[in-house]
A and B are shown apart, each in its own frame.
Chain A
Amino acid sequence: AQSVTQLDSQVPVFEEAPVELRCNYSSSVSVYLFWYVQYPNQGLQLLLKYLSGSTLVKGINGFEAEFNKSQTSFHLRKPSVHISDTAEYFCAVSGGSQGNLIFGKGTKLSVKP
């Protein structure tokens, strides 16, 4: 069965610093991978997805992620964060034949001035 581990529950960082949010997955089959962002009191919004092809995936708001099959990782990065990036970020893997997703427990990114 697929599973997702987000290695950090909270990541504090100063504005304009780089950030990496880590995600590892386990799966015995080919997977699709996703990062979602959730701003306070809102639903989840898709940041980026990996389905196939290039292992470096670019998403919205300047975020990117790299799929590493040998390390079963899909880490999310941004070279320079803004206050507005403060949110909770969820990594997810495709989980079944009906397209549902298996989510990690989330990483709260807190950007400080």
Chain B
Amino acid sequence: DAGITQSPRHKVTETGTPVTLRCHQTENHRYMYWYRQDPGHGLRLIHYSYGVKDTDKGEVSDGYSVSRSKTEDFLLTLESATSSQTSVYFCAIREGNSPLHFGNGTRLTVT
């Protein structure tokens, strides 16, 4: 999948705990994105990055933070997980005018 690895693939956590999801790319692409996928909502953008240490909010950023200290890694953190953050999270990368390429997703369950 265009050199994108998401980890973990599955995670179950309790309400109130911090959670970090990792997206790692081997393509040296400039742009990286975090989306969440929920039934009936399609994919919605959480945060994105346009370079090392350059990030911005998307449509549903509340309760999430991101960091990009290296080109290849884009981390998504839920500071205090809530049940409404149970979802499937997808990372995507892009360079130039190329389309988005997606990872295989992380299924997160908050109990």
| A105→B104 contact, CB < 8 A | no
Nearest A residue to B56 via CB reads A98
- Which residues of the partner chain B approach A36 to less than 8 Å between Cβ atoms? 102
| B45→A100 contact, CB < 8 A | yes
Chain B at the A interface: SS class: strand
Q: Which of B48, B90, B101, B105 contacts A100 (CB 8 A)?
A: B48
Q: Which of B40, B56, B99, B104 contacts A42 (CB 8 A)?
A: B104
| B90→A99 contact, CB < 8 A | no
- Which residues of the partner chain A approach B105 to less than 8 Å between Cβ atoms? 42-43
A66 to chain B, nearest CB (A): 18
| A101→B100 contact, CB < 8 A | yes
| B33→A100 contact, CB < 8 A | yes
- Which residues of the partner chain B approach A98 to less than 8 Å between Cβ atoms? 31, 48, 50, 56
What band does the interface of chain A fall in when counting residues whose beta carbon is under 8 Å from B?
A: 20 to 34
What per-residue 1/0 map shows which CB atoms of B45-56 lie under 8 Å from chain A?
100101000001
A59 to chain B, nearest CB (A): 11
- Which residues of the partner chain B approach A42 to less than 8 Å between Cβ atoms? 104-105
Chain A at the B interface: SS class: loop
What per-residue 1/0 map shows which CB atoms of A2-35 lie under 8 Å from chain B?
0000000100000000000000000000000010
**Is residue A44 within 8 Å, beta carbon to beta carbon, of the partner chain?**
yes
Q: Which residues of B does A touch, CB under 8 Å?
A: 1, 31, 33, 35, 40-45, 48, 50, 56, 58, 90, 94, 97, 99-105
7 CB < 8 A contacts A-B = A34-B100, A36-B102, A43-B90, A44-B43, A100-B58, A105-B41, A106-B42
Q: Which residues of A does B touch, CB under 8 Å?
A: 9, 34, 36, 42-46, 49, 51, 90, 95, 98-101, 103-106
